[in-house]
Structure 1
Amino acid sequence: MDNQVQSFAVANLRRRPVVVETGGFVAGFDPDTDSPYLNYATPLPGAEPTGRDVAALVAAFRERGLLPRLEFAPEAAPAVEPALRAAGFGTEAVHTYLVCTADTLALPRSAGSPRVERPTTDAEYAALDAALAEAFGGVFAPSAEGAARLRRTQLSGGAVRFVRAPQGGCAGGASCSPPAEGTAELFGVGTRPAYRGRGIAAAVTAALTGAMFAQGARSVWLEYSGEGSRRVYERVGYRPQGTRLYLTLHPQQPRP
């Protein structure tokens, strides 16, 4: 599964508005934001970069005023991590990824499960963007660009789903990328604090996963942020499969 997830990561970055490919790496950039979570690189499966290759990758980030950052499955490209660490990259995070297939997917059975919807209006996309900003504790601010990215995900072959709040607006939601290499990535699962514990995360996760299977994906994968969320995903049918590594090169660290 590591090679499939890594091949997906490459294909997904190639969809970005600006793509730079150099020395066995693919970097995807979004000119609308300097967020490191939306501007990063990943290696080709099996890549064996030299010091010069890493330097060229770093330069692609520096010339845009961005933090050099990579996300990848290290088992799919074993030579990459040593090359990056030799250049001064440090660990940002190590995440386990979970995978769901049609055989393991478990749809919510309760009659009281939240009603999951697909946003269609600008107001609904904006409400979901605002809800996710609140859910993730202000890591990003709600914005017109954020709402537009959600709409692009839906229109480009991915899927976006949300649950309405009883008083109006959005209680929570999530997105899933368009499928590539037989799989798709489900991301950004968030519920506003006031509505947690009501099955919203499980409902939107199940709905998005089913939508990807209907579009021909053989699997869907995601990363989790804590044991609580992991239990939610496992109830839906997700199982641990491998590891993803996040490395960054900060200004105070030595450059290649």
Structure 2
Amino acid sequence: MSDHAPRITAFLRASITRSRETERVGPFLASFSGDTGNPFLSYAIPDDDAEPTLADVAALNSAYLRHERVPRIEYVPALAPVVEGVLLDAGWQPENRLPLMVLAAGTSLDGDVPPGIQLVTPATDAEFVATAAAQNEAYGGPPEGPEAGTALRRTTERGGRVVLAQVADTAEPIGGGVFVAPHDGVTEIAAIGVRERFRRSGVATAMVRRLAQEAREAGATTVFLMAESPVEERIYARIGFETIGEMLHISDPAGHRYGTGASDVG
């Protein structure tokens, strides 16, 4: 197991505590987004070396259903190897196993933005909404209202950064991404999304490079992300990210009547 994994998990706990309602449920730190039913924004993290009981899992389910949220957990299974088996016994099902990648120290982040594209830092409500809309479309979510940019604005207010990719001539939004405020030198690049007709043009690579550079400037010494697919893993590897393990997303399918929306920042 990489030495990075415990620090990354500590960052994730600090991040959800800073931005959401949280509740201690047995060996789990459960978080609940009050702004949206997006299931990716409400999840629990087990303690390192946690050994939950079925009663603990039942209590966790009850907590999420009480908040009308999908019972979900996101964690590094190598840090709590007993947890997955207990969840499976309780009827939970894995959603995804994502490569956990860390930017190698000293990696050069030089690179060109694709021709005709510009990367901007959102500052107005319209720009935050445009970023959220592009990300949501990229992840296959339904159209969102004017409040969609609220979470992104809060990310910047709390010390993180947001990037919006757009067509240079028309300002048409193409995609977006974020990094969360660093904690103890660690931050996550997340919610990298590019609308389908603009993919395979280098936009995602340019956004990740930009965010990684800004994260370093903000004091991050460990910059990590999770690749959504083998294609993304290869793209990020070319930038300089190295796979150090995996992140397991697992949930109780009985709770999936709650929650809609695209993947967003954790």
- 115 and 101 in structure 1: CA distance in 2 versus 1, 3 angstrom threshold: farther
Partner of 2:251: 248
Partner of 1:75: 78
Partner of 1:64: 67
- Counterpart of 1:8 in 2: which secondary structure? helix
Contact 1:5 1:73 in 2 (8 A): no
Tell me the CA shift for residue 109 of structure 1.
Answer: 4.7
Structure 1, unpaired ranges of 5+:
none
Which of 146, 149, 156 is 1:147 aligned to? 149
- 17 and 110 in structure 1: CA distance in 2 versus 1, 3 angstrom threshold: closer
Distance 2:55 2:215 in 1: 39
Number of equivalences: 252
Identity %: 32
Question: Larger relative CO (CA 8 A, sep 6+): 1 or 2?
Answer: 2
- 168 and 110 in structure 1: CA distance in 2 versus 1, 3 angstrom threshold: closer
Tell me the CA shift for residue 240 of structure 1.
Answer: 0.7
Structure 2, unpaired ranges of 5+:
257-266
Tell me the CA shift for residue 147 of structure 1.
Answer: 0.6
- Counterpart of 1:65 in 2: which secondary structure? coil
Which of 152, 160, 167 is 1:158 aligned to? 160
Correspondence 1:38-117 to 2 at 5 A: 38-109=41-112, 112=115, 114-117=117-120
- Counterpart of 1:71 in 2: which secondary structure? strand
Partner of 1:25: 28
Contact 1:107 1:236 in 2 (8 A): no
- 235 and 50 in structure 1: CA distance in 2 versus 1, 3 angstrom threshold: same
Which of 185, 189, 196 is 1:186 aligned to? 189
- 123 and 81 in structure 1: CA distance in 2 versus 1, 3 angstrom threshold: same
Distance 2:98 2:220 in 1: 23
Distance 1:136 1:190 in 2: 7
Tell me the CA shift for residue 78 of structure 1.
Answer: 1.6
TM-score normalised to structure 2 length? 0.87
Partner of 2:130: 127
Which of 189, 197, 201 is 2:200 aligned to? 197
Tell me the CA shift for residue 76 of structure 1.
Answer: 0.9
Distance 2:255 2:199 in 1: 39
Distance 1:38 1:131 in 2: 18
TM-score normalised to structure 1 length? 0.90
The aligned amino acid for 2:89 is A
Tell me the CA shift for residue 112 of structure 1.
Answer: 4.8
Query: 22-31 vs 222-231, which deviates more?
Result: 222-231
